[in-house]
């Protein structure tokens, strides 16, 4: 069984700095039920998706236009046997210019095929990255909140 963490790469037609700023606007593309702050290292925020997902993140590493990292400090995914499976995992966005565009390399460290959440959570991340973050970056219209897939 593979232990590779969930990773996805995407290209966007805006600058690395603008991409960085838009990713930090978590309410605009991931969770409309958002409390806290997500703009500076040390900031903490919580997201909720109905009664299915709660998680608390701390921004542990940031470099404008290049890198964002969140540590999941608490989680309750009620559809899992081990509902705190995300706790202690890291969510990372690496941002770099590529061929006149900006490449986003997303990794959820700890989300791998060896854990219960992998199937549903990788599907969820694929939705939020492709169907919400990309449109949010490209035209200002994300789809934060509980997914409609």
Size of the chain, expressed as the number of residues it contains: 149
Rounded Cα gap, residues 60 and 147, in angstroms? 27
Name all contacts of 72-81 with Cβ < 8 Å and 24+ positions apart: 73/44, 77/52, 77/53, 77/117, 77/121, 78/51, 78/52, 78/53, 79/52, 79/120, 80/116, 80/117, 81/116
Beta strands across the sheet bearing 67-77? 6-12, 101-109, 90-98, 67-77, 53-63, 44-49, 34-36
**Distance set, CA 126 to CA 7, 13, 42, 44 (Å):** 9, 19, 26, 23
Domain 6-139, CATH class in plain words: alpha beta
For the chain, the structural domain boundaries read 6-139
Residue 124 near residue 30 (C-beta atoms within 8 A):
no
Q: Which tens digit of pLDDT belongs to each residue from 111-126?
A: 999 999 999 999 999 9
* Cβ-proximal residues to 139 (8 Å cutoff; 6+ apart), any chain: none
Residue 75 near residue 84 (C-beta atoms within 8 A):
yes
> Sorting pLDDT into bands at 50, 70 and 90, what band is 147?
confident
Average pLDDT over residues 131-146: 95
Greatest alpha-carbon pair distance for the chain in Å reads 45
Average pLDDT over residues 96-118: 97
pTM for the model: 0.94
pLDDT at 146 (0 to 100)? 85
pLDDT at 1 (0 to 100)? 43
Percent of the chain with pLDDT over 90: 95
pLDDT at 149 (0 to 100)? 55
Q: Which tens digit of pLDDT belongs to each residue from 35-80?
A: 999 999 999 999 999 999 999 999 999 999 999 999 999 999 999 9
């Amino acid at each position: 069984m593979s232990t590779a963490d969930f990773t996805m790469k995407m290209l966007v037609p805006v600058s690395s700095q603008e991409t960085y700023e838009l990713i930090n606007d978590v309410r605009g593309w991931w969770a409309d039920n958002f409390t806290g702050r997500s703009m500076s290292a040390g900031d903490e925020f919580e997201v909720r998706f109905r009664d299915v997902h709660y998680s608390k993140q701390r921004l542990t590493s940031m470099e404008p236009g290049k890198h964002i990292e969140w540590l999941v400090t608490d989680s309750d995914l009620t559809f899992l046997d081990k509902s705190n499976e995300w706790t202690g995992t890291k969510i990372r966005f690496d941002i770099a210019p590529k061929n006149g565009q900006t490449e986003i390399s997303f990794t959820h460290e700890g989300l791998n095929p060896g854990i219960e959440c992998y199937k549903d959570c990788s599907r969820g991340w694929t939705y939020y990255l492709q169907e919400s973050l990309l449109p949010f970056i490209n035209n200002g219209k994300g789809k934060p909140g509980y997914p409609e897939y």
